[in-house]
Amino acid sequence: MLQHPEHKYRRFPTIDLPDRRWPSRTIIEAPVWLSTDLRDGNQALFEPMNSERKLHLFDELVRLGFKEIEVGFPAASRTDFDMVRRLIDEQRVPSDVTPMVMTQLREDLIEETVRSVAGARRVIVHLYNAIAPVWRRVVFGLSVDEVEQLVAHHVRFLREKVSEYPQTEWVLQYSPETFCMAELDVSLRICNAAIRCWDAGPSRSIIINLPTTVEVATPNVFADQVEWMSQRLERREHVVLSVHPHNDRGTGVACAEQALLAGAQRVEGCLFGNGERSGNLDLVTLALNLYTQGIHPGLDFSDIAAVARVAEQSTALPIHPRHPYVGDLVFTAFSGSHQDAIAKGFAAQSADDFWAVPYLPIDPRDLGRTYDSIVRVNSQSGKGGIAFLLCRDHGVKLPRRMQIEFSTIVQKLTDASETELSSEEVGELFVSTYLAPARAGGELAYINHRLQDAPGRQSVEIEVKLLDGTRRWLKGTGDDFIDAAVSALGIPLRIDSFEECSRNSDDDSVLAVVEGNWHGVVGSRFGAGRHPNAVVALIQAVLSVAARFSRITGHLPGDDESISVLHTE
């Protein structure tokens, strides 16, 4: 890169518009949408769509709710011409949908274009030509006067041609291509020539479509340009002011939003931003941005994954996993503090409240997406997300201190493996850490127990099976049965708290957890048990924490050589 890019690239000048009003306006309704997937989107593909793919995408655009669809450039290719004719001849265009066809300012091309749509109920014919200084000088070799005459001549020519088909309602769309790079007074002059030559009025609709053919400035500059034009166009009340942003600077959506503030009534773009170079305006993002402001866009993205599949098939281009609203990862949090906030947000969100779940700008379910992948666990994850997964997918609700302990165990594993852990694996880790020690095959597998009340005391006998297969009855007495269970184990274990956390509706089992302490030697540890009988679940929890401590201390429950410890933590 150059050390002094200022010698190669010029800063775009600001627009003199001291009375600009767009910065303090708010968008309060959806614009008219035009999909140009079949034209601008199509002309940017490695392999342009064939008729079948185009027709399929057309049907999908109709299903989504588009009322204006640019169907092609019929004079450019047989494929486009035939496809447009099929739409008309096979009456595939619903009565509330208007197709648009594009052509250059050339009489032969205009004639062919009009022929391609003859017989339609209503059509928009889209004329365009580049008007910015470089194009005038380098591409066309025309002065501003000559460009104006070129436009005036071909608009009149079109007007004359379409008068041969009075059964069709004809709308003219004129696009001063390269508008964003042109002098505003030149753009105005040429657009006004189109408006006059078309004789725009109540029954002769015209769309003036202002493109950022190549984005060259910040969105506020485009908004100024649009407002400047909107204030000055002739017969403004009969003009639908449209914009056609591209995305060269990555600000296509911002340009469209600010243009709507500045007076644009209609937007052109493609699904998920397909289009020339870095794309056209992404219609889905703009529509859903409006939706998150409480404005229904009039387009239906309630099964956004299905729309993505159609778009990917049509364009043979993949959608990025971080693409707004649709990407595979956009409703996924890996990082701990985000997961924690999301989990708390879901717990606090009630159905009839405004949506307010942290880090989720939209309810994924509104787009037909599930909550399944919202929290994913890797080494950046914390207790909140892990607890969320345990609760949502495994019906396990843990006390906060145990969440902290378990998240360090998860983190050790993800750090070591450097991979993501699935929710299923998190569940398995929970079981192997806490439940397995007191289950069949665990170090202190619970078999049975007997409780006996003595005056003011509780005694318990617990039958356990050890890893070597031997069974033992351990007997203890205490103030309550937890106390008694601990004394039965004959180890310096202290239970600081116990709780029945959650009941599993499938098998009616209770999850019991205890927090134990090895008399201050190694810090506290948790144990857990799960059983339909809450007393059994608690005894299992005590056995579980005892087994976990014995792995660390090497000290054995029962203080007996016959109880072997196989693992160390």
Ligand X SMILES: CC(C)C(=O)C(=O)O
Ligand Y SMILES: CC(=O)SCCNC(=O)CCNC(=O)[C@H](O)C(C)(C)COP(=O)(O)OP(=O)(O)OC[C@H]1O[C@@H](n2cnc3c(N)ncnc32)[C@H](O)[C@@H]1OP(=O)(O)O
Q: Are 286 and 254 in contact (CB under 8 A)?
A: no
State which amino acid sits at residue 428.
E
> Counting contacts by CB under 6 A, is residue 252 touching ligand X?
no
State which amino acid sits at residue 267.
V
The DSSP line for 382-445 is -HHHHHHHHHHHH-----HHHHHHHHHHHHHHHHHH-S-B-HHHHHHHHIIIIIGGGSTTSTTE
> Counting contacts by CB under 6 A, is residue 37 touching ligand X?
no
The interface mask with ligand Y, positions 65-84, x = CB under 6 A, is: --------x--x--------
Site for ligand Y in 187-246 (CB under 6 A): 213
Flag whether 40 is marked binding. yes
163, HSE (Cβ side, Cα atoms, 13 Å): 7
Site for ligand X in 225-244 (CB under 6 A): 244
Residue 244 site contact among ligand Y, ligand X, none (CB < 5 to 8 Å, cut-off depends on kind) = ligand X
Residue with Cβ nearer ligand X (211 or 437): 211
Flag whether 246 is marked binding. yes
Q: CA geometry: angle at 322 spanning 316 and 323, to 5°?
A: 60
Q: Are 565 and 550 in contact (CB under 8 A)?
A: yes
Give the closest residue to 502 by CA, choosing from 534, 525, 545: 534
Flag whether 296 is marked binding. no
Q: Total binding residues for ligand X by CB under 6 A? A: 9
Please identify which residue in 12, 43, 196, 467 interacts with ligand Y, judged by CB under 6 A. Answer: 43
Two tokens, residue 23: 């910065």
Residue with Cβ nearer ligand Y (40 or 443): 40
CA 517 to chain centre: 46
Stretch that binds ligand X, among 18-26, 139-147, 186-194, 206-214 (CB under 6 A): 206-214
Strand order in the sheet with 525-531: 494-504, 509-517, 525-531
Flag whether 126 is marked binding. no
Residue with Cβ nearer ligand X (87 or 208): 208
Residue with Cβ nearer ligand Y (22 or 81): 81
Q: How far is the CB of 158 from ligand Y (least distance, A)?
A: 12
Please identify which residue in 22, 66, 73, 128 interacts with ligand X, judged by CB under 6 A. Answer: 128
How far apart are the C-alpha atoms of 87 and 99, rounded to whole Å? 9
Residue 140 site contact among ligand X, ligand Y, none (CB < 5 to 8 Å, cut-off depends on kind) = ligand Y
Residue 411 site contact among ligand Y, ligand X, none (CB < 5 to 8 Å, cut-off depends on kind) = none
> Counting contacts by CB under 6 A, is residue 40 touching ligand X?
yes
14-39 burial, b for 16+ CB within 10 Å, e for fewer?
ebebeebebeeeeeeebbbbbbbbbb
Stretch that binds ligand Y, among 100-108, 157-165, 386-394, 438-446 (CB under 6 A): 100-108
Stretch that binds ligand X, among 207-215, 226-234, 381-389, 444-452 (CB under 6 A): 207-215
Residue 135 site contact among ligand Y, ligand X, none (CB < 5 to 8 Å, cut-off depends on kind) = none
Residue with Cβ nearer ligand X (252 or 385): 252
> Counting contacts by CB under 6 A, is residue 36 touching ligand Y?
no
Two tokens, residue 328: 């595979």
The 8-class DSSP code of residue 140 comes to I
How far apart are the C-alpha atoms of 461 and 367, rounded to whole Å? 56
Site for ligand X in 60-79 (CB under 6 A): none
The interface mask with ligand X, positions 150-189, x = CB under 6 A, is: -------------------------x-x------------
Q: Are 381 and 407 in contact (CB under 8 A)?
A: yes
Give the closest residue to 434 by CA, choosing from 486, 512, 340: 512
Q: Are 281 and 253 in contact (CB under 8 A)?
A: yes
Residue 209 site contact among ligand Y, ligand X, none (CB < 5 to 8 Å, cut-off depends on kind) = ligand X
Site for ligand Y in 101-160 (CB under 6 A): 104-106, 128-129, 139-140
Q: What is the dihedral of CA 37, 40, 41, 44, to 10 degrees?
A: 170
Annotated binding-site ranges for Mg(2+):
40, 244, 246, 280
Contact set with ligand Y (CB under 6 A): 40, 43, 73, 76, 104-106, 128-129, 139-140, 177, 213
Contact set with ligand X (CB under 6 A): 40, 128, 175, 177, 209, 211, 213, 244, 246
